[in-house]
Structures are given as structure tokens and as C-alpha cells.
Chains A and B, each alone.
Chain A
Amino acid sequence: MAGPAIRLTGVSKLYRRRDRGAGWGSLKSALVSARPGRAGEGAVPALTDVSFAIAPGEVVGVIGANGSGKSTLLRLLAGVHRPTRGTVEVSGRVAALLELGAGFHPEISGRENVEIAGLLAGLSRRQIRERFDAIVAFAELEEFLDAPVKTYSSGMTVRLGFAIAAHTDASVYLVDEVLAVGDEAFQRRSLEKFAELERDGATIVLVSHDLGLVAGRCRRALWLDRGTLAADGPAGETVARYRDRVASRESSRREAAGTPPPGARVGSGAVRILAARLRDASGDETRRLPAGRAASIELELEAHGRVEDLVYGVALSTVAGVTVLATNTKLDGVFLPPLAGRALASLEIPSLDLSPGVYSLDVAAHAADGSPYDYWRDALRFEVTAAGPGAGLWSPPRTWRIVPAGSGRR
């Protein structure tokens, strides 16, 4: 068992670019034209000079933007593709959980498909017979076994694919975004299965866009950036660095596009919000805040004439549209003096207990009955960074207390 389970040395992978219709799309045109395009010309590098080693039993996450080479890496590890340069060494049997559910023949039964998929995954006929019941039980497809796969739902197909791959006794598991599919219950069971495989000493390489999952499940993470290995280290650290990079790229792109973000504004205009700002603990204006630290939202306002019936409001939501916080001065029982001319209003939050991610801020000045003077949707966006692991929207300070059961207390 000495030596790494996986070792990549100076691995590069080029894909030939071949545009259909143009170049040498048809054999006829290739035969007619004197010299068709050659390999190397118009090649797209998917991975460039990647080297790393993974010890047996390690659970390693692979993160990176779309097109950064993650799937190519898994295909090379699986031996489906061959590297253009460098060497890929993998010891032990490999189970590749790629495009689960793809490749089943729709016309024939689940039973027959299990047999073929098992053979293709490297099992012998006898091994398939021995494991058949366990596979079917894991996929929960007992009743549908003899129905053609075309009658299966996509979830059932994926479950079957997962069940087969998870029962191949492999020592190396390559997992591509598998957990993004399937319902809650299935996701939980697949995570349990991975934990079990991990306990049994399997090496797992997990490609995922779910950074929380990678940070929580993997001890180590590789970050691929446009085909090169940008970072390789403890998962939490690598994920944090990746998040920082994504956030700074995002904000520089937004700046290049011209701030503030174009938000829809409605209202009578009796009160105008001149600016909405976000300040960090030290009072500096920012678009990136560390989780768990103080923050404040500041509104610069101007009234045309004197306005007495006045409420200020803020709403925070994720970019996906889930409201995290919606409040206003009236709800919070704050008395506002009449406004004439300009004023500054700020909402101070002692501890921003949000999970890392991008959030959108709506700000408003409106009458007590809700009719808006100025409602500014998506007035600004900001990024909450780092802090600890965990998924979900809320990340408060917390402690676990464990009391032994049966100690007399209920």
C-alpha cells in the first residue's frame, strides 16, 4: 500500500478543436482538400502542466469555475481520456461516477442495464450476480426492475447509476457533481455511502461547485483555474482563497461595468435616496464583508419640501431571491423626525451572521401606509466572505454541547 493512490506528473491535455461544417467536417471535403487540419493546430488546452499526488484514503475536493478542467481531470484519472503530455498513475480499481444514469439503454429493463453497466464498470458476471440485490436495494428500484429504463424518472436513473458505481469495490472513487442531482433523501444516502467508503479506506476525488460540501467533506482541495493548479491545500483554506478570487473578479467586473448596479426604482420622489452604502466594522465603505463582524448600511436622503409621514426600510436577499432580512424603522419602533433637506440614516448590525455568498440590498423611503417615495431595488450587492464551514444562509456564533445519554436528565 506504499506510494500514492493517484499521481499526476506534468499532465497536459489538449483537445482538438473541430468545428462542424467548417474545417474538416466531412470526409468528402477532407479528401478533396489537399491537407486537412492537423492535430495540434487549433487545439484547446484543457489542462496545463498539472502535478499532484493523492495518498490512499484521502478525500480530495476539486473546485474551480466552469471550463477550468475539472471534468477533464476526472476523465484522465478514470482512464477514459489519455493525457497529451505527462503521466497519470492510478493504483487500484477505479469507480467513475461521471454522468450517472447516462449510457443506460432506454429500451431494455433496469435488470439488463445493471448487468451491462456492471460489466463496463469492471465487475465480472459473478460479482454482478452477488451484488445485484444490494444494488437494487440501494437504488430502491425493486418494483421497477423489469420495466424498461425509458419509463424511469431521471431521479431513478441516477439512483441506479450511483448504486452500481458505489458497489464496484473500487479503491478510488471519482465523483463528478453527483450530489447535485437527486432529491434530499438520495443526497443524504449518497453522502452516507461516501462516508462509509471513506471509513473503508477508499480514496475519493470529488468535483463540485458546492463549496460548502467541499469544505465540509474534504480534508484537502485542489483549485483548478483555467487548466492550471491554482491551489492545493487544506479544503477550508483553498475554498476561502477561491471564494476571495471569485469575489474580487466579480466586483472588478461590476466596477468595469459601472456602479451602481442598475436597479429598478419606483416612488413619488418626495424623498430621494441619493446613495446607499455599506460600511465595515472600522467604518470604511466596502462591498466585501467578513462574516460574523460588524457592518452598517447607510442611506443618504434628500426631501423636496418637508416630509412628515416617513419610514426607512432595508431588505437583504440572496441573489437567488431568498429574503434574508426585511425590516424598516416603523417595524423596529424607531421614531423619525420630519425630514427637510438632507439626512443620513444608518442601520447598524453588530454581527453579520450570514453565510458566505453574494447578497443584494433593497433600500426604501416610504409612507407609513407603504406607498413609496423612493423604492430602490438591488441598490447594491455585496459579498460575505469566509468564516467557518457549514451551509445555509445563517451562520451565527455557536457552540455544541454534548451530554451523555441516560444521565438521568431528559
Chain B
Amino acid sequence: MRQRAIVAALTRRELSARYRGGALGYLWSLLNPLLLLGVYAVVFQLLFRPRADVAPYALFLFGGILAWGFVSASLLDASETFRAHGPLLRKTTAAPEVFPASAVAARLTHLALALPVLLGAIAYFAWRGEARPTAALLQLPIVLALLALAVFGLSLAVSSLSVIFGDVRDIVSNLLTLLFFLTPVLYPASAVPERFRFALWINPFAPFLTGVHACAFEFRAVAPAQWAQMAAVAAAALLLGGAVFERLRDAVVEEA
């Protein structure tokens, strides 16, 4: 209970500190994805011709980029959170988990604030007759919630490892760059040749991105097998992250 209040307060602090300097404040949360969407729309409608079966490509890309952005920003923030909060960590009896949790929560809030822009984009493309949204869209929050659980699990591991090893952030950021291309963000999972499909099965983020594409682009319900896959990844990430964190807990408090 107390930990929840602390996570909430830390998250608010994270957000308010981030926007304190700018006159536009929270508007940046909306403006950022809006600009991104504008750039995609221009580039992929006018400059590149994407595959004909993924149209409108800007909309396809937008959902995936938002979800991936959440994953990558959360894990990078997590890799710094203990060091950044070292002085607090060394004097408080609050559970150290609250710091990675609030890092992820702050990024999740950004994602939530960007969703209206996604909805607006869907409405726009529907109005032009290029998209046909259905009730499947309502599954998007569930997909994102499962993704957030998985990311929280991984962030526990990343944040505690980063206390002990100096190069965790570099490793994480390189892995994320690599994974960005190995995960269906720029392309749909269906575009992956049959003999490489296994790569999607070992990539923990693939089911979530495919899930986002299903409910926010193709507007069809997520298949039960895929739900199971997402739940399994989330559970595994939480277990793994929890175990790594528990093992390094003392080191985190003493050395951050």
C-alpha cells in the first residue's frame, strides 16, 4: 500500500520534473507522437512506396512505434534509475523496487497520453475510408498492460544488474537497436518468410507488437494462442526479473 503511494509520487515527480522547464508542459506528450505521425505520413505517402498489403502504412507504423518506444525508453530509464536515485536509496527503507517501477510507470503514462493521438489517426484514416476500425480496438489496452508487466519484469533485472556492471546501459541500448529490427515494428509479422518465423517465437516482444498490429491496425481480435504467448512472456519476465533483483538486492542498496 505504502509502496504504491511511493511509486505514484515518484512517477508524478518524474513527469513533472521532465516538463517543468518547458512552457508547453504536458502538451509535449501529445505533440511528440503527433510530429512523429506527421513525419511518417509524409515520408511513406510521398517518398517511399511501402508494401501494398500494409496500408495505410503510416497508421501501421505509428502503433508499433508507440509500443516499441515505451519498451525501449523504459528499459533505458531502468538501467539508470538506481544510480540516479542513489542518495535516496541509501537512506530510505522503502523497497528499492519502487524506483524501476516508477521509471516504467512514467513511460507508461507517456504512452497513455499518446493514445488519443493514435485514436485520432485511426479516426482520420477511417474517415478517408482507408481503415475500418472494429471493437477489437478495445483489446489494445489489455495488450499494452501485458506489455507493461513484461517490461517491468525486465526492468527489475536491468536496473539491478546496472548497479553492479557499468556497461549494462550500453548493452541494453545495443540490444534494443538490434531487436527493433528483429521485431515486427517496421514490417508485419506476416512479412517474415516461413523459415525465419521461429525468430518471432524466441523474440519476447514479437507477440506484443503483433498484438498491437492486430487490434489497432487490422482491427481483428487477438488470437487465444497469442494471448497465451503474451501472458507467458509477461510471467516469465516478472519471475526472471524478480529473481535477479532478489539476488542482487543487498548490492543494489549498498552500492548504488
**Residue positions of A touching B, CB distance < 8 A:** 15-16, 18, 20, 24-28, 30, 75, 78-82, 94, 96, 98-99, 102-103, 105, 107-108, 112, 115-116, 119-122, 124-125, 148
Instruction: Provide the bound-state CA to CA distance between A330 and B10, in Å.
Output: 70
At the interface, is chain B mostly helix, strand, loop or mixed? helix
The answer to whether the Cβ of B87 comes within 8 Å of any Cβ in the partner chain is yes
> B165 near A108 (CB under 8 angstroms)?
no
Among residues 135 to 176 in chain B, which have CB atoms less than 8 Å away from a CB atom of chain A? Answer: 161, 164-168, 171
Minimum CB–CB distance from B207 to chain A (whole Å) comes to 27
Complex CA distance for A105 and B168, rounded to whole angstroms: 24
Instruction: Please tell me if the beta carbons of A115 and B9 are within 8 angstroms of each other in the complex.
Output: yes
- A116 pairs with B10, CB closer than 8 A: yes
Chain A hits for B6, CB < 8 A:
116, 119-120
Taking a contact as CB atoms under 8 Å apart, the answer to whether A116 and B9 are in contact is yes
Q: Which residues of B contact A115 (CB under 8 A)?
A: 9
Asked if residues A27 and B167 are in contact (CB atoms below 8 Å), the reply is yes
Tell me, in angstroms, the Cα distance from A159 to B223 when the chains sit together: 58
A99: chain B residues at CB < 8 Å are 87, 90-91
Q: Chain B residue with minimal CB distance to A74?
A: B91
Chain A residues positioned under 8 Å from B166 (CB to CB) = 20, 25-26
Q: Closest chain A residue to B3 by CB distance? A: A119
CB atoms of B255 and A18 under 8 A apart: yes
Pull 26 A–B residue pairs with CB atoms less than 8 Å apart, ordered by A.
A20-B166, A27-B161, A27-B164, A30-B165, A75-B90, A78-B91, A80-B90, A80-B93, A80-B253, A81-B253, A81-B254, A82-B250, A98-B90, A99-B90, A99-B91, A103-B85, A103-B87, A105-B17, A107-B21, A112-B13, A116-B6, A116-B10, A119-B5, A120-B6, A120-B88, A124-B2
Q: Which residues of B contact A25 (CB under 8 A)?
A: 165-166
Quick check: A103 and B93 within 8 Å, CB to CB? no
Is residue B243 contacting chain A, with contact meaning CB distance below 8 A? no
- Shortest beta-carbon distance from A215 to chain B in Å: 27
Contacts A119-B6, A122-B2 given; does A18 touch B92 at CB 8 Å: no
> Which listed residue (A15, A78, A102, A112) contacts B93, Cβ 8 A?
A78
In this complex, what residue of B is CB-closest to A46? B254
Kindly list chain B residues whose C-beta atoms are within 8 Å of the C-beta of A82: 250
The number of A-B residue pairs with CB atoms under 8 Å apart is 87
A15 to B10, CA, bound (A): 29
Q: Does B251 contact A (CB under 8 A)?
A: yes
Chain B residue contacts of A16, Cβ below 8 A: 251, 254
Residue-wise, chain B 2-18 has the 8 Å CB interface mask toward A (1 for contact) of 10011001101100110
Shortest Cβ distance from residue A40 to the other chain B in the assembled complex, whole angstroms: 13
Q: Contacting A102 at CB < 8 Å: which of B17, B88, B171, B254? A: B88
Q: Please list the 7 inter-chain residue pairs (A to B) with the smallest Cβ-Cβ separation, ordered nearest first.
A: A103-B88, A27-B165, A102-B87, A107-B17, A26-B167, A103-B87, A98-B91
C-alpha spacing A78/B5, complex, angstroms: 21
Please state if A119 and B93 are interface contacts (CB–CB under 8 Å): no
> What residues of A have a CB within 8 angstroms of the CB of B51 in the complex?
none
Known: A26-B165, A27-B161, A116-B13; 20 extra A-B contacts, CB below 8 A, are A18-B164, A24-B164, A27-B167, A78-B93, A79-B93, A80-B91, A82-B250, A98-B90, A98-B91, A103-B85, A105-B13, A105-B17, A107-B20, A107-B21, A108-B20, A115-B9, A119-B6, A120-B94, A124-B2, A124-B5
The answer for the CA separation of A218 and B45 in the assembled complex, in Å, is 77
* Residue in A closest to B98 when the chains form the complex, CB atoms: A120
What's the nearest-Cβ distance from chain B to residue A97, in Å? 9
Cα(A30)–Cα(B254), bound, Å:
20
Q: Cβ of A108 and Cβ of B16 under 8 Å apart?
A: yes
Known: A27-B165, A120-B94. A81 touches B171 (CB 8 A): no
State whether A94 and B93 are in contact (beta carbons under 8 Å apart), knowing that A108-B13, A115-B9, A116-B9 are contacts in the complex. yes
Q: Kindly provide the distance from the CB of B77 to the nearest chain A CB, expressed in whole angstroms.
A: 15
B162 and chain A: residue at smallest CB distance: A27
Beta-carbon contact of B92 and A28 below 8 Å: no
A15 to B253, CA, bound (A): 11
Q: How far is the CB of B8 from chain A (nearest CB, A)?
A: 9
Q: List, in ascending order, chain A residues with CB within 8 A of B2's CB.
A: 119, 122, 124
